[in-house]
Structures are given as structure tokens and as C-alpha cells.
Structure 1
Amino acid sequence: MSYDFTSSADRSGSNAEKYSLREELFGTEDVLPAWVADMDIDTPDFVLESVKKRLVHPVIGYEEFPKSAFKAQIRWMKKHHGVEYDLEEMFYSHSVVASMQVVIEAFSNKGDEVIVQTPIYPPFFHAPAHMERKVVKNPLMQLEDGTYTFDLEDLKAKITDKTKLLLLSSPHNPVGRVWTKEELEALLEICRENNIIIFADEVHCDLVYEPNKHIPLASLEGAKERVITAIGVGKTFNMAGFAVSSIVVPKNLRDKFKKAYDNVHFAQGSVLSHVAFESAYNNGEEWLKELKIHLYKNYMMLSDLADRYKEYIELTPIEGTYLAWLDCRKMDLNNKVLREWFVKEAKLGLNAGLSFGKEGSGFMRLNFAVSSAKMAQIITQLQNALQRMKTR
């Protein structure tokens, strides 16, 4: 079956967050939003059909998260990522951020240290701080080719006896790295030596471009006893609105985790989310294959544009996710003026790089998970703005 990503449904009249908040965030409705990490691409038809089929039954009440749904996810992860999870390791969660907060509560106390690797998805440093943990920043190193890697010497220097957790983004949001086995093994060894638990946000694991390969951290030798993994369908199949994901917790950490998990009362989620989740994993292989081809074409359009205007913008090489990390430091604008330039000149609503930590100063994050038609519009608006800058 062939899927069409040339156009998508108009979300501007819906309650879609990226559209409904335009005035509040950007000061105008006249901006094409390319910020929050969901897709302007229709959720797969097989997911929607499963929900319609469930709605034939007239009772929408409490239901348990079905084992068959977790089994579908386990099969998917084994086939596509070579990792084997057990059914008893799987827990329902409505979001990765909620999962992360439970892990912070379970495996650290107020005043303990939590390591984050900036620039990073903002809840990684907001959540520990709000929970009265000390956030220890271990910034990524940017290499000459624009890619990033772990700064392991800085990490080792910052660990103390109060360091309890490391929050890992894999693949990394926003810099687009897909960590190699060697990088992850080196990080894991440091955490093992210092008895640090790792929370691995792997929600972008399916959105990886060849020849790169996602390595689940828990699949490495000696990793399982200290790695808790967050995975789900939200990014892969554009299903964030179903509010359903998974937490994978090894046996030796389960009692501590479950105590904090039960205190929150996650319950079992929505019955409609259950069937959507299972359908995605059972039917989504071909859709995802075609989606990734489409997404990479969008990325290459952006890359070609950056090459034409490299005196202003450099595009960080991407290996995974659908989030482009734009290095705009050559534009020589402060962060406030840079954000305003994208809004007023390009009429684009992006995430300011500074929101990912001070290492994001001078950067912007652009979500290119859109239809071909909308990507062409993004490119045109950005190109026109850059051309005006060039001719002034």
C-alpha cells in the first residue's frame, strides 16, 4: 500500500496546540507554526479505523490496558530494535514527562542531583527543579562538523555522592543525534561505576534515518539493572493526543518505582487509546517506512536552503527525529531579536534554542514533520526572509 504525504488536514480551525496558542506565544495569528513536536501529517488511517470500530460498542467505561497491546509493542521493539522486553516490565503512562517525574520521585530525594545533557528538551531540567532536586548540567560537546557527542570528562568531574539519576534523550531532542553503541557503553560504564540510575527517553526511536541505527540503552550488556526506558506511539504515528505511552522497568527497580507510580494513580488510560496503540504497532510498519522517506525529503529541502544561505544559517546534521536544529549564530542577532525575525520576517513560529538551555543560544528548532505542501510553504517563507536580509 502506498501512503500520500503531499497534503494533510487543516488544523487551524481545531484546538491543536500549535495553532491555538499562536497569538499567545508569537503575538500574531499570522504565523505558520513549526514548533511543538507533533506532526502536521494525518494520523494513520488504520489507527483511526480501530477507534471507529471500538466506538460501535456503546459503552466507554473503565478498562484494563490490554496485554495484547503491550505484546504488540514488545514484538515491534524486538523486530525493529533488537531489544527484548518482558510483559511484567511494561507499565502504562500517559506521557514521557509523567514517566520521568515518577522516576525522579522513586529514585532520588529532595536535594539529590539529577544530570541532564544540554541543550535538551526543557522538561528535562524543569521537572527535577520543580521537584526540588539539584539539576547538574553536563553539556554536550559540539564537534567541528556541527554534530554533538557526550562530554564524558565533564560528566565524571561533576558526579558526587548526591548524584542519583541521569536523564538521557535517545535519539536526542533537539540536536538529532542517534547515539552509537560505543557512546552509550561509555556513558553506561560511568553510571555503573557511580551507581546512577538512567532514565532513557527513547520516544523518537523509530524516527531514525539510514545508515544510523537506534540502540536501546537497555539492550546493552549490564544495562538492564539500572535503565528505565520510556517508549511509545506518540511521535512515531502522530498520536500524542491519545495520551498513551509505556515505561519499561527492570525487575530489580520495580518495587521502588511502583510505590511512586501507584501514588500518582495512573490508572489504565483511555479505552480508545488502548485500541489505537495496539493497531499502530500491529499495522504501522509500511506507513512508517514511507513516512521516513517523506520526512528525510523535507529535511533535505531545508538542507539545500541552508546551503544557499550558509552565511546566515547552518543546519545541524540530523540522524534521527523530525526536529531540525538551526544554527543561526552567523545572523549576529540576540536571542529575542532572532525569535522576532522568524516571526515577523519569515512568519514562522519555531522553538527558541535558548529554551533548551544556554547552549541553545543562537539556535532555533524547526519541526519539519509536515506535508509536502506545508514544507514548500515553510521553505518559501524562510527563503524570502533570508533573501531580504541578504539584499539589505
Structure 2
Amino acid sequence: MSDFKPLDIDRSHVNDRHWNLESLSQTYKINPNRELFSLWIGDHDFQVPIKVQEAIQQRLAVPVYGYAFLPQTFYEAIIKWNKEQFNLTYKKENIILSHGTIAAMIMTIKAFSNPGEAILLTSPIYGPFGEAIKNTNRSLVAHKLLYKNNRFEIDLALFEKQIVDEKVKIFLLCNPHNPGGQVWDYSILLEIVNICKKHKVIIFSDEVHRDIIFKETKFTSLAHFESLYDQVIVGVSPNKPFNFGGFKTTYILVKNESLNNSLKQELVKTKMTSPNTFGVPALIAAYECADWLKDFNAYIEDNYHFIVNALKTENDLSIFDTNASFFVYVNFSQLTTNPSLFKEVMEANNIILAYGDSFVQDGEYFARINIGIGRAKLERFVQQFKFALAEVRTKVNKINYIN
């Protein structure tokens, strides 16, 4: 047994984007007299492992928080974790701290493409992927994922055609997929690598959710294909499982010396020369908490099965077949084809979710629910969610009757 405790931590009184009412009220209409279910953003509600707390407290005890550096133990922790958890072998020089996954993505885009050139992504996908492309004045090419049997599929023929027609320079992959929580199969990844190799397309693989995998699920990092095609850049982070996204401890794994040097040069241009003072000890400590992670993952998977079972009577709602991360992706297109109505009713019931406009495009009739919460709160959410769904049905029926 680890020290994982599925207890919701009250963050409403600190400067936390997930639960702070001051922050949420800038965007949403919150009813202070009703329980709030803020299940939109990508961090969970559970306290970090005791080892991480102790490491931070130890650093906090030295009351000067000046410029930091990356000690040898930082690299050793990353090398050990990647070998033991994913059978990936790296050296110190292969690791680049990037101060955030999207920051790493932007570095990649700037280093290996020019303004106006095409960058490919699959859609729907985590919104900042699209922002990274647009904000660097590149051309966004979206490959619409096929939604079949509550899973996503890639049309490989179309995928390759888009690469050729649009002269794509970089492909941005998300594995496990966000918002779907889907681990891409080895066979699909192999096809993607072969296509990108054929057309000399660099691949950036966002794998920040790779530590949160359901049992009986096999995760394959794109790094496993480097012997076949070395134009691969992998972005990973302990932030998602261990819950310290505020520390910006994403790092890049890249063995190709030319890619590596170009990314390091791009990092120098940003002048981000000092790591987060608390992020360094937090990462080192987190990567000693494999037992905690195992218990956390089991709890999240149980939460997933609970909500699927609890909503199975909602016949006009379909739930994505998830096998990673702490998200549940629901399709409400059979309930209503008016996303604004759905969102309006949810918000009126103090339910805040992430919707299609948060995921670039092609997710108009979907909502993402964060289930990284305690079971008691999840049960209360399900009750309130069912009530809100019934309200949506009533409004839809009324509109249909009038028409």
C-alpha cells in the first residue's frame, strides 16, 4: 500500500484555476447556493505523494528562492523512471527541460518550420495544439478523426494525402489522446511513423498522460520507433499523474543530435535559463513513487467504470471507450445538436465541463468530464448531471413541439 488517499483537497481559497470562485466567476455564472462541479481543467483533486510534499518542504525550509539549476539527480531520476516504467534508455544529453508541453511544441515548430508552412494535427485535440500553430504563424492542417464504436480511428490514406497535398513539415501527435483518453495501438503508430518517414515529416509526440494507463492496456511511446525513424521528439511530464502542473516540469526526450541541438538553441532564445525552484525536487521525489501511481491509476479506472455504469441508462448519451488518463469524453449528439443549449443547461446546474471549442475543431457534440475526484463527489456529480440531462431533454422537446 502507498500513501495515496482519495480525499478531495479544498482549493477554493487559493489561487487555483480549477476551483477558485474568483477565477471561475470571470468566465462562468456560478450559483453560490448550490454545489459546484468544476470538472473542466486537466488536473485532479488528490494530494501529491508524501515524498513530494517532504521534498518541497525541505527546499522551502531554506528561505531564499533564487535561481536554480538542474542537478545530476534530476537527470538520474528521469533516466531511471523511463527505463523502469517504459523500457526507454536515455542519457543526460537526450533530456531537455522545456517549462511546459506547449512551450516544447512551440520550440519544435519554430526550430523546424518557417512561417506559413503546414503543421498537421488530428482533431479534436487539446486546444493549445492549435494555438501553438496559429500563434507561430504556421498553417494548421487538421486530420478529422473517425468516431466509430466510441473510439477514434485515423484514416491513414487521407492522413498521407494531407501530408503530401499540404507539404506538411511537422505532425503533432497526442498519445494518450486528449480529450479522448485513448492509447493509440502499436500498429497505428507504426503506420504513422512509416508515412512520416516516407515524407520526411518530423513528429512531436505529446505523451504527458502516459503514466495514467488502465490495467490490461499496453502503452507504446513513439520513442520506441526511433531506430526506425529518428525524426521523433517526445514531450513528457510528471505533472498529470502527480498533480503539480504549476511547477512546469515537462521535459523533451530526443536522441537525434541535430534535432537535440536545434531545440537547445531554441530554448536559449527564450532566455528560460532557470528551472522552477520547487519543480526540480518535486520531479525527483515523484519518480520514487511508483506504488502511489499504481494506486492512483486503479482509483481512476474504478471511477471510470463507476460513471459508465451510472450513466448507462442515459440512452441518448454515448461514452468514449477510455483506457488512459482521468477524463471521460461523452457524445451528446443524440440528445441535442445544439451545443450552446447543452452548455447553458450544464452551467445553470453549476456543472462546468470542457466542450468542443476547447479542442480545436470536430468536437462540437462532445463534452470532457474530469473524473479525478473522490468517489463521493463523483456520485453527487452523477446525480446533478442526470438532472441536467433531463432538463436538456425537456427544453429540446419544447423547442421541437413549437417548431
Q: TM-score range by the shorter chain?
A: over 0.9
Tell me the equivalent position of 1:91: 96
2:341–2:392 contact (8 Å) kept in structure 1? no
- Cα deviations across residues 59-89 of structure 1 (Å, max 9, x unaligned)? 3322211221121112111111111122101
Larger displacement relative to structure 2 (83-92 or 245-254): 245-254
1:338–1:362 contact (8 Å) kept in structure 2? no
1:231–1:247 contact (8 Å) kept in structure 2? yes
Looking at structure 2, the residues matched to 319 and 149 of structure 1 have their Cα atoms a distance apart, in angstroms, of 15
Looking at structure 1, the residues matched to 337 and 143 of structure 2 have their Cα atoms a distance apart, in angstroms, of 26
Looking at structure 2, the residues matched to 29 and 195 of structure 1 have their Cα atoms a distance apart, in angstroms, of 53
Tell me the equivalent position of 1:320: 324
- Cα deviations across residues 289-312 of structure 1 (Å, max 9, x unaligned)? 1101111111112101221112x2
User: Among 245, 261, 281, which residue is 2:267 paired with?
Assistant: 261
- Cα deviations across residues 264-284 of structure 1 (Å, max 9, x unaligned)? 1221312221111100002x1
User: Among 377, 380, 384, which residue is 1:381 paired with?
Assistant: 384
- Cα deviations across residues 223-253 of structure 1 (Å, max 9, x unaligned)? 5521111111110100101121211122231
Tell me the equivalent position of 1:357: 360
**Aligned residues: CA RMSD:** 1.7
1:326–1:363 contact (8 Å) kept in structure 2? yes
Tell me the equivalent position of 1:339: 343
- Cα deviations across residues 175-234 of structure 1 (Å, max 9, x unaligned)? 111011111000000000000000110000011112112111011253552111111111
Pairs within 5 Å for 1:58-137: 58-137=63-142
Looking at structure 2, the residues matched to 38 and 165 of structure 1 have their Cα atoms a distance apart, in angstroms, of 28
Looking at structure 1, the residues matched to 68 and 303 of structure 2 have their Cα atoms a distance apart, in angstroms, of 40
Tell me the equivalent position of 1:41: 46
Larger displacement relative to structure 2 (60-69 or 181-190): 60-69
Residue 18 of structure 1: SS of its match in structure 2?
Answer: coil
Query: Is 1:7 aligned with 2:7?
Result: yes
Looking at structure 1, the residues matched to 158 and 30 of structure 2 have their Cα atoms a distance apart, in angstroms, of 42
Looking at structure 2, the residues matched to 54 and 318 of structure 1 have their Cα atoms a distance apart, in angstroms, of 38
Gaps of 5+ in 1: none
Residue 358 of structure 1: SS of its match in structure 2?
Answer: coil
The Cα of 1:388 is off from its aligned counterpart by: 5.1
Tell me the equivalent position of 1:369: 372
The Cα of 1:390 is off from its aligned counterpart by: 6.1
Pairs within 5 Å for 1:199-348: 199-220=204-225, 222-223=227-228, 225-250=230-255, 251-282=257-288, 284-310=289-315, 312-345=316-349, 347-348=350-351
Residue 81 of structure 2: SS of its match in structure 1?
Answer: helix
Structure 2 vs 1, CA of residues 255 and 343 (structure 1 numbering), >3 Å: closer, same or farther?
Answer: same
Tell me the equivalent position of 2:29: 27
The Cα of 1:6 is off from its aligned counterpart by: 3.8
Larger displacement relative to structure 2 (288-297 or 243-252): 243-252
Question: One-letter code of the match for 2:347?
Answer: V
Structure 2 vs 1, CA of residues 93 and 358 (structure 1 numbering), >3 Å: closer, same or farther?
Answer: closer
Question: One-letter code of the match for 2:13?
Answer: G
Residue 135 of structure 1: SS of its match in structure 2?
Answer: strand
- Cα deviations across residues 327-357 of structure 1 (Å, max 9, x unaligned)? 1111114111111121114x21000123313
The Cα of 1:111 is off from its aligned counterpart by: 0.8
Question: One-letter code of the match for 2:9?
Answer: A
Structure 2 vs 1, CA of residues 110 and 221 (structure 1 numbering), >3 Å: closer, same or farther?
Answer: closer
Residue 49 of structure 1: SS of its match in structure 2?
Answer: helix
Tell me the equivalent position of 1:17: 17
2:96–2:264 contact (8 Å) kept in structure 1? no
Gaps of 5+ in 2: 398-403
1:5–1:41 contact (8 Å) kept in structure 2? yes
Larger displacement relative to structure 2 (373-382 or 238-247): 373-382
Alignment length (residue pairs):
388
Larger displacement relative to structure 2 (156-165 or 75-84): 156-165
Residue 203 of structure 2: SS of its match in structure 1?
Answer: strand
Tell me the equivalent position of 2:401: none
Residue 302 of structure 2: SS of its match in structure 1?
Answer: helix
1:353–1:362 contact (8 Å) kept in structure 2? yes
1:44–1:287 contact (8 Å) kept in structure 2? yes
Looking at structure 2, the residues matched to 316 and 95 of structure 1 have their Cα atoms a distance apart, in angstroms, of 27
1:94–1:243 contact (8 Å) kept in structure 2? yes
Tell me the equivalent position of 2:152: 148
- TM-score in terms of structure 1 length: 0.94
Residue 120 of structure 2: SS of its match in structure 1?
Answer: strand
Residue 308 of structure 1: SS of its match in structure 2?
Answer: coil
Structure 2 vs 1, CA of residues 65 and 182 (structure 1 numbering), >3 Å: closer, same or farther?
Answer: same
1:218–1:224 contact (8 Å) kept in structure 2? no
Larger displacement relative to structure 2 (187-196 or 9-18): 9-18
Larger displacement relative to structure 2 (273-282 or 78-87): 78-87
Looking at structure 2, the residues matched to 47 and 129 of structure 1 have their Cα atoms a distance apart, in angstroms, of 36
1:115–1:166 contact (8 Å) kept in structure 2? yes
